[in-house]
Amino acid sequence: MPFVYVKRYQMVIDLRAVSLSTVPLSAGFHFLEWHPAFLERHAKTKYLSFCNEIDARIFPTFRQYDACLRLMQSISGKPGFLPQATWLIAKGEPFQKVKDCATIQGIQHNLQMGAIQNVAVIPEFRRLGLGRALVLQALYGFQNAGTENVTLEVTAENINAVNLYNKLGFKIVKSVYKETVM
């Protein structure tokens, strides 16, 4: 099997140097704060967001729901797991049928550095501002926890995500290359 290398950017934002503003969600969408009972919902949203994307070729975990579930268990079990930087966006009215649309998770390594683990938006809900709202919501959580800098990694060819992170104040600090199967 031929291998290719996919370029990814490591990006960082200095939360002390940016002014964060709230982004209201469109009507019908709402944030759900982290709760352990939502673990499977986060995993399913992550799976549906990435399973047919380039990131699933780079990270085999995204190819199967069960692997995404184990990933969410691992993330939420880490000592630095930051519930206030971990969110789910759902569409629908509470106490009625809702559809989960997007998820993000945060880890605080120490007060100087935190990390966004995944920004996942299900394809049918992309280009609605959910990714921007999700990242800002997580950054508020990091900021409230006293975190100074937050890092994330993104596939370079995901131009929409790279542009979003740049607009929010993230800077590219390093390029890395991940081996993947064609």
pLDDT tens digit string along 126-170? Answer: 999 999 999 999 999 999 999 999 999 999 999 999 999 999 999
CB contact at 8 A, 12 and 149: yes
Q: Where are the alpha helices (DSSP H) in 21-79?
A: 39-50, 54-58, 65-77
pLDDT, tens digit (0-9, with 9 covering 90-100), for 77-120: 999 999 999 999 999 976 678 899 999 999 999 999 999 999 99
Residue 171: pLDDT above 70?
A: yes
Q: How confident is the model at residue 58 (pLDDT cuts 50, 70, 90)?
A: confident
| Burial of 56: CB neighbours in 10 Å, binned 0-12, 13-18, 19+ | middle
Cβ atoms 174, 10 nearer than 8 A: yes
Write down the CATH number for the domain with range 3-181.
3.40.630.30
Tell me how crowded residue 103 is: count the other CB atoms within 10 A of its CB: 30
- Per the prediction, the chain carries an average pLDDT of 93
pLDDT of residue 182 exceeding 70, the answer is no
pLDDT digits (tens, 9 = 90+) for 35-48: 999 999 999 999 99
Q: Using CA atoms in the order 113, 110, 108, 78, what is the torsion angle rounded to 10 degrees?
A: 140
**SS3 of 156, please?**
coil
Q: What is the pLDDT of residue 110?
A: 92
Taking the C-alpha atoms of residue 55 and residue 33, their distance in angstroms, rounded to an integer, is 25
Residue 19: per-residue pLDDT: 87
- What is the per-residue pLDDT for 1? 64
Q: Where are the domains of the chain?
A: 3-181
